[in-house]
Amino acid sequence: MHCPAFIAHNNIWVSLVVGGLANGFLYALIALGYTLVYGVLRLINFAHSEVVMAGGFGGLFAMRAVLGTSTPAGFWAIGFMLVGIVAGALAGGATAFVLERVAYRPLRKRNAPRLTYLISAIGASFFLYNIAGKEFGRYTAFIQTPTVIQGNAFSLCGVGVQSDWILTMVTALVLLLVLDTVVNRTKLGKGIRAVAQDAETASLMGVHIDRTIALTFVLGGLMGGAAGFLFGLQFGVIYTMGFVPGLKAFTAAVLGGIGNIRGAMIGGLLLGVFESIPLRWMSAEWQDVVAFGVLVMLLLFRPTGILGERLGREA
C-alpha cells in the first residue's frame, strides 16, 4: 500500500490513530448505554460499568465452556469469537434488565426524588462488582484467544495493525449500525423516541412505558456487554474492569451530546483518538489524565456536547 511520504516517515502516528480508534469504538459501544437511558429517563445509570463487567465474565465463561483447552484456527476461530461476543452481549443485556427491574422501576412507581435513583445505582454498582469479586476471584483472568486474532493482521504504512483491533472495530461498527437502525427504523425505536420526547403522550398513544424502558436498558446492556467481552479479550477480565472504561464512555457520551445516539458514537471515536495522540510525547500513565481532562474542558466550554443534547421528559 502506497503511503504519503509524511506518514511513511512518521508511521508512529498510524499506530496511535488506529489504536485510538479501536479503543474509541469500545467507548462508543459502552456510551450508548448511558445515552439511551438518559434520553428516556434523564438519569445517568452509574451501574452501567458493571454491565460491562458482566459482559466480560459472560464471554470468558462461554469461551471456556466451548473451547476447553483447544485453540481453534481458521474459519472455526471466527465462530468461537462470535460465541464470546454473543455471550458477552447477552450477559450485559440480562444484567441491565435486572438493574432496571430492581434499582429503577420501583423508584419510578413511587415517584422517588432524583437523588434516590443515583444512590440506588451506586449501591447496585457496589453490590455487583463486590459479588463478582467474591464469586469469580479478585485476579485478572485472560480469555483464551484463537491464533487467528493473535499478532498483526496486516501492515499499514510500515506499522503492524493488530488483529484484535480489527475484530474490535468491525464488531463495534456492525453493532452501532444495527442499533442506529433499530432506533430510527423500527417500531421499538419509535416507541423509545416517543417515550423520550413525552412519556405521558406516548402512553396515551398505546406505547407500553415500562416495557419500552426495560428494552431500552436491555439494548444498552447488549452493547455494553459486547464491549466488555472485547475489552476483556485485550486486557483480561476482572471484577473492577468496568470502572475506567465506564467513566471514559460517560465522557464520550457527554462529548458527543448526552442522549444523542450518533453523538455517543462520534464522541467515543474522538475520545479514543484524543487520548491516544498525546502518547507520542508522554507515557501511557497520562492517558487517563488526558481523557478526563477532555471531560472537564468540555463541561466548561460546551456542556451540551458536539451534537447537542436530546433530552426526554421523565417517564
Nearest to 52 by CA among 105, 99, 115: 99
- Number of domain units in the chain: 1
Poorest-pLDDT segment among 55-59, 78-82, 123-127: 78-82
For residue 162, give its domain range.
5-301
Note whether residue 312 is domain-resident.
no
Specify the pLDDT at position 168: 85
Pick 6 or 128 by higher pLDDT. 128
Specify the pLDDT at position 315: 44
Grid coordinates of 79: 465462530
Note whether residue 43 is domain-resident.
yes
Note whether residue 188 is domain-resident.
yes
Note whether residue 314 is domain-resident.
no
Note whether residue 170 is domain-resident.
yes
pLDDT of 165 strictly over 50: yes
CATH number at residue 122: 1.10.3470
Note whether residue 315 is domain-resident.
no
Q: How confident is residue 307, by pLDDT bands cut at 50, 70 and 90?
A: confident
Note whether residue 310 is domain-resident.
no
pLDDT of 299 strictly over 90: no
DSSP string, 251-285: HHHHHH-TT-HHHHHHHHHHHHHHHHGGGGTS-GG
3-state secondary structure of 73: coil
Q: What is the pTM of this model?
A: 0.88
> 100-112: buried (b, 16+ CB within 10 Å) or exposed (e) per residue?
beebbeebbeeee
Q: How confident is residue 158, by pLDDT bands cut at 50, 70 and 90?
A: low
Note whether residue 155 is domain-resident.
yes
